[in-house]
Amino acid sequence: RSTGGVGGINPENGSVNDAKNLRVKLVLLGDSGVGKSCIVLRFVRGQFDPTSKVTVGASFLSQTVALQDSTTVKFEIWDTAGQERYAALAPLYYRGAAVAVVVYDITSPESFTKAQYWVKELQKHGSPDIVMALVGNKADLHEKREVPVQDGIDYAEKNGMFFIETSAKTADNINQLFEEIAKRLPRPSP
């Protein structure tokens, strides 16, 4: 018998959404260039590799988070791969998503404004119980910072979102981002 499986999920029941093992769709949103692909690749592959991003169509990767209470969450992560330009596609993209991660770049006020646009879109078209996270990425570039941490904190709080600053480059807070989301997911009763 296999005892393996990604992150402790039993291959025989890994796909079942029971109280202990969840499988959820997670979508990434944000301006092009803020680091969405790099965040995913850092989380899934443990690497910072800006050259290996998917350029055509939506890419799809999955990764499992094991929590302390021995529950697991398998994230099926959807990256827009540039489709964020086509606003009309968005509702199709985030249909069925339990989680939305809205990313901006702390060195780019424009990307922070764009993040707020995506949050409004999600509030209009997303599932009402969607878990939303606001992520200020490129936190390693603090000498070029143009978006104060407090602005992110305040906006997230007003909109019922989880907030964190990350660096895909240094790996800072990347695992924490996904762990905190996993903890916030509503669970079916046992």
Residues at the contact surface with ligand GDP, assessed by CB under 6 A: 30, 32-38, 50, 53, 137-138, 140-141, 167-169
- Identify which of residues 21 and 111 has a Cβ nearer to ligand GDP in the complex: 111
Residue in the shown chain whose Cβ atom is closest to ligand GDP: 35
- Identify which of residues 141 and 153 has a Cβ nearer to ligand GDP in the complex: 141
- Identify which of residues 22 and 77 has a Cβ nearer to ligand GDP in the complex: 77
For the bound state, the minimum distance from the C-beta of residue 147 to ligand GDP, rounded and expressed in Å, comes to: 14
- Identify which of residues 37 and 71 has a Cβ nearer to ligand GDP in the complex: 37
Q: Is 24 left (phi over 0), alpha (psi -120 to 50) or beta?
A: beta
Distances (CA, A) of 54 to 67, 89, 97, 104, 170: 29, 18, 20, 19, 21
- Identify which of residues 9 and 115 has a Cβ nearer to ligand GDP in the complex: 115
Q: Which residues of 62-71 are buried (b: 16+ CB within 10 A; e: fewer)?
A: ebbbbeeeeb
For the bound state, the minimum distance from the C-beta of residue 101 to ligand GDP, rounded and expressed in Å, comes to: 11
Q: What are phi and psi of 85, to 5 degrees?
A: -70, -25
For the bound state, the minimum distance from the C-beta of residue 22 to ligand GDP, rounded and expressed in Å, comes to: 25
For the bound state, the minimum distance from the C-beta of residue 67 to ligand GDP, rounded and expressed in Å, comes to: 25
For the bound state, the minimum distance from the C-beta of residue 51 to ligand GDP, rounded and expressed in Å, comes to: 9
For the bound state, the minimum distance from the C-beta of residue 30 to ligand GDP, rounded and expressed in Å, comes to: 6
- Identify which of residues 25 and 138 has a Cβ nearer to ligand GDP in the complex: 138
